Amino acid sequence: MVWKRLSSPTPKKFKVLSSAGKIMASVFWNAEGIIMIDYLEKRASITGSYYAEQIKMLREAIKEKRRGKLRAKVLFHRDIAPSHKAQVVLHAIREAGFELVEHPPYSTDLVPSDFYLFLASRNTSEARNLPMIVK
């Protein structure tokens, strides 16, 4: 029901069109830039086993794009999503030889890393093909 004056025309009903939808991207980077971007299939979710597979792929991407970095200690920081804390994920991190950097309780100091990622990725060829989303 819509409230309107008697003299005003009836509002038009618009059809809702399905949009392209949301895209979930997992982005792995270091100080030198983006190492790997993995796009999740539509209507899928990141489970512990999926994330563990991403870690294996990340190790291979580091081997290819950041030669010699695996010989040094790789510090791995992740967010605190439940799937990222699964035992299969912790096993994959250890198996990859990464040292896990624990996530502190809520910290506003860590938020700027997201801004760093998007500013640093602006000039990469992978990022140029991504749609710009402004909220």
**47-126 fold:** Nucleotidyltransferase; domain 5 (3.30.420)
Burial pattern 39-55, b for ≥16 Cβ within 10 A else e, equals eeeeeeebebebbbebb
Instruction: Give the side-chain half-sphere CA count within 13 A for 43.
Output: 0
The secondary structure of residue 122, as a DSSP letter, is T
What is the spatial distance between Cα 124 and Cα 128, in angstroms, rounded to a whole number? Answer: 6
pLDDT tens-digit map of 27-43: 898 888 889 999 998 88
Local confidence band at 133 (pLDDT 50, 70, 90 cut-offs)? very low
What gap in Å lies between CA 114 and CA 73, rounded to an integer? Answer: 23
Domain coordinates of the chain in residue numbers?
Answer: 47-126
H or E element that contains 100: strand 98-101
Confidence bin at 85 (pLDDT 50/70/90): confident
Q: Which of 64, 56, 74, 6 is nearest to 35 (CA)?
A: 64
Q: Band of the pLDDT at 47, cuts 50, 70, 90?
A: very high
Are residues 107 and 132 in contact, defined by beta-carbon separation less than 8 angstroms? no
Q: In the prediction, which pLDDT does 116 show?
A: 58
CA distance 31 to 131: 23
Q: What is the pLDDT of residue 135?
A: 38
CB 121 within 8 A of CB 33: yes
Mean pLDDT for 130-134 is 47
| Token pair recorded at residue 13 | 């009903």
Q: How confident is the model at residue 11 (pLDDT cuts 50, 70, 90)?
A: confident
Could you tell me which residue, 11 or 20, shows the higher pLDDT? 11
Residue 110 vs residue 16, higher pLDDT:
16
